[in-house]
Amino acid sequence: MLNSDIAARRTDAISRGVGVTTQVYAERAENAELWDVEGRRYIDFAAGIAVVNTGHRHPKVIAAVKTQLDQFTHTCHQVVPYENYVTLAERLNKAVPGNFAKKTIFVTTGAEAVENAVKIARAATNRSAIIAFTGAFHGRTFMGMTLTGKVVPYKTGFGAMMPDVFHVPFPIEMHGQTMEDSLAVLDKLFKADVDPNRVAAFIIEPVQGEGGFYEVPRAFMTKLREIADKHGILLIADEVQTGFARTGKLFAMEHFGVVADITTMAKGLGGGFPIAAVTGRAEIMDAPGPGGLGGTYGGNPIGIAAGNAVLDVIEEEGLNERAESLGNRLKQRLHSLISEVPQIADIRGPGFMNAVEFNIPGTKAPNADFANAVRAKALDKGLILLTCGVYGNVIRFLSPITIQDNIFAEAMDILEDTLRECAKEA
């Protein structure tokens, strides 16, 4: 079987709206490696977009899922509940930052977690407006794409967005947007467009994902918390991509010294199995009435079993510390190449949520062509990378945190060779 044959069938069978980054069709995967249908091996620095932080088919996750499969696969928790759903909720209530009573609900996807966080915030505050940030990604459902701060490809062709959603520029100093600039826009928004007493919540990614792996300035997060408290606005932390050891902490908000009222999570929680969650202050989470939250597959037993196993693996294998070590090694390797690769404009990211941004040498103009050339050449050499950023000029690194040292070293050699070759060809 050939990748090209499947690609031709895919074109005929699947909507073009479902885009793909590669034409590599997976046959099997193990930890940080995968093999395609032609038998070629790749090192996976995408991890299903930060889903398999614990690696493809982690033995402990697979064992937990197999045990659950032998018991039952679905009852719908709202019809016949089950104990491990309660256990995982208890563990997340304890783990999510904040020294207050918390409660949790389980859903299936990150976008669904965001949708429910908005519902809960509106029910708790009796307000409707939501403020998000440019460059953000919060999902592809209607509320999710409305909150998302990027038009192409997420909003194009889908008509009017949901009402009562406002965007403030995300502070990125290297792009000329300071924290003070963003706060000034927020102040003007309160004066010109929306009464702060009508705002239910701010929603923010502690580190932007699709937007380019820009970390929220610590002072900005502190100020946002102060403004929220002043006006009775809730703070929602979207930890869908940042959660579960990716940034060197179980949750990225642990880096900021302030806490959110509501936290959304998905991706890494399931270790490859679909599960998402919303955790927040108990009184806020109890605002919707019975039946107002939930879903047929919400907290599916397979995903719940995987989630409990993932938390065990993170703790037992010290993945927070592992993420810090791997990220430091990656960033050091990239810094060593700056003199040879003049397209490198920035190297950043906490823990193992890292990125390199490329500009046209000698300018501040984004260099998306170079980023895509790096991605394509690395793929030819057997390393799967992803681009991101509003301008498409950022390479992000999302390898499983469980990657073996020798595989990581091999990936770094491929990356170094790729960057050097692309710089010479540019």
Residues 81 and 67 both lie in one domain: yes
Residues 260 and 398 both lie in one domain: no
137 is catalytic: yes
The residue from 316, 337, 354 where one domain ends is 316
224-237, pLDDT tens digit by residue? 999 999 999 999 99
Residues 127 and 231 both lie in one domain: yes
The residue from 283, 316, 349 where one domain ends is 316
Place of tokens 């003049």: 342
Residues 232 and 127 both lie in one domain: yes
Residues 386 and 374 both lie in one domain: yes
Q: Check 45, 106, 133, 137 and give the catalytic one.
A: 137
The predicted structure's pLDDT at residue 15: 96
Residues 53 and 168 both lie in one domain: no
The residue from 249, 284, 316 where one domain ends is 316
Could you tell me which residues come within 8 angstroms of residue 97 by beta carbon, excluding any fewer than 6 positions away?
251, 253, 254, 259, 260, 263
The predicted structure's pLDDT at residue 106: 98
238 is catalytic: yes
Beta-bridged to residue 29, according to DSSP, are 34
Residues 243 and 331 both lie in one domain: no
- Number of domains within the chain: 2
Residues 47 and 77 both lie in one domain: no
41/382 Cα distance (integer angstroms): 7
Residues 303 and 329 both lie in one domain: no
- Can you read off the two tokens belonging to residue 350? 């906490």
The predicted structure's pLDDT at residue 206: 98
Q: Which CATH number covers residue 359?
A: 3.90.1150.10
Residues 161 and 275 both lie in one domain: yes
166 is catalytic: no
141-200, pLDDT tens digit by residue? 999 999 999 999 999 999 999 999 999 999 999 999 999 999 999 999 999 999 999 999
Residues 109 and 26 both lie in one domain: no
Q: Which CATH number covers residue 209?
A: 3.40.640.10
Q: Tell me what percent of the residues of the chain surpass a pLDDT of 90.
A: 100
pTM > 0.75:
yes
Q: Grade residue 358 by pLDDT with cuts at 50, 70 and 90.
A: very high
Helix and strand counts by DSSP (H, E) for the chain: 13, 15
Place of tokens 């826009």: 185
Helix/strand/coil for 348: strand
Mean pLDDT computed over every residue of the chain: 97
Residues 155 and 108 both lie in one domain: yes
Domain holding 361, by residue range, is 3-57+318-425
Kindly state the average pLDDT of the residues 281-298: 97
Q: Check 102, 103, 267, 377 and give the catalytic one.
A: 267
